[in-house]
Amino acid sequence: MVQPVILVNGLSFSYPASPLVLEDVSLTVAGGSILGLVGPNGGGKTTLLKLILKLLPLQRGTIELFGRPVAQFEEWHRIGYLSQKMWSSDRNFPASVEEVVSSGRVQQRGLLRRLHASDRQKIQSALERVGMWAYQHRNIAQLSVGQQRRVFLARALASGAELLMLDEPTSSMDPGIQEDFYHLLEDLSKEQGVTIVQVSHDLAGATAHVTHVACLNRRLLYCGTIEEGLISDTLPQLYGEMRDTLLSELIAIRNSRASTPSVCG
């Protein structure tokens, strides 16, 4: 059995003076899987990510990361969080691609410790892995949106991230660039065993490149493979007239891959 990387049980949460944003959500994410977290605006997707990352306080329920309660988890370098704010913030600051990725090694080693040759090698390997080593001396403000996101992905990898939490990672990207980015994430999962949870509104694009999907609208409406959800009519409201076409495309994609572990509890 594959060890769960994330284990959420009975999670409920509300902001002050507001109704429940999340209600009795239970979710298991196995190592090496790619989970697409989908649902309407205000459905609780970003809130769920922030609770898992201890950016919001637990109110009801439990969360475990790599087998440890989130309150006791300290190895945050194992988790790379790429937030919506990161995607939209100003890039006009004087930092090179290599400097941005180097900050990932500083996060792991500590602010006052010098980087060694082994750190430099990890930085280079991370940039090569995302196809950005040739841009190492380029100012990040001079890069395209897609290139910038690859750089911040490399930063997470350089820090030693085994779990990537991505909030709308392909927003504002052209369709072709989106597809390349999705393929990069697939390769990271397949070749390096990186576990990925990505929030997305791009249902057709994102769900074609995940192993499992979780539909969240305050409650967890569905979690499992997309084929199972579509065949059982669990997800028709998400896909509408695209259902039959999307189903055949997804089955063709899945038939070309090895079987994936069940991740949803």
Length of the chain, please? Answer: 265
Q: Is residue 260 scored above 60 in pLDDT?
A: no
- Tell me yes or no: is domain 4-90+161-255 CATH 3.40.50.300: yes
Provide long-range contacts, Cβ within 8 A and 24+ apart, for 126-135: 126/101, 126/154, 126/155, 126/157, 126/158, 127/97, 127/98, 127/101, 127/151, 127/154, 129/154, 129/157, 129/188, 130/154, 130/157, 130/184, 131/184, 132/97, 135/97
212-245 pLDDT per residue, tens: 888 888 999 888 876 676 666 665 555 555 556 5
C-alpha to C-alpha distances, 156 to 79, 97, 151, nearest whole angstrom: 8, 13, 9
120-171 pLDDT per residue, tens: 899 999 999 999 999 999 998 888 888 988 999 999 999 889 999 999 888 8
pTM listed for this prediction:
0.83
Q: Is residue 107 scored above 80 in pLDDT?
A: no
Question: Where in the chain are the domains?
Answer: 4-90+161-255
70-86 pLDDT per residue, tens: 999 999 989 999 887 66
3-state secondary structure string, 13-27?
Answer: EECCCCCEEEEEEEE
Helix axes 145-158, 117-129, angle to 10 degrees: 140
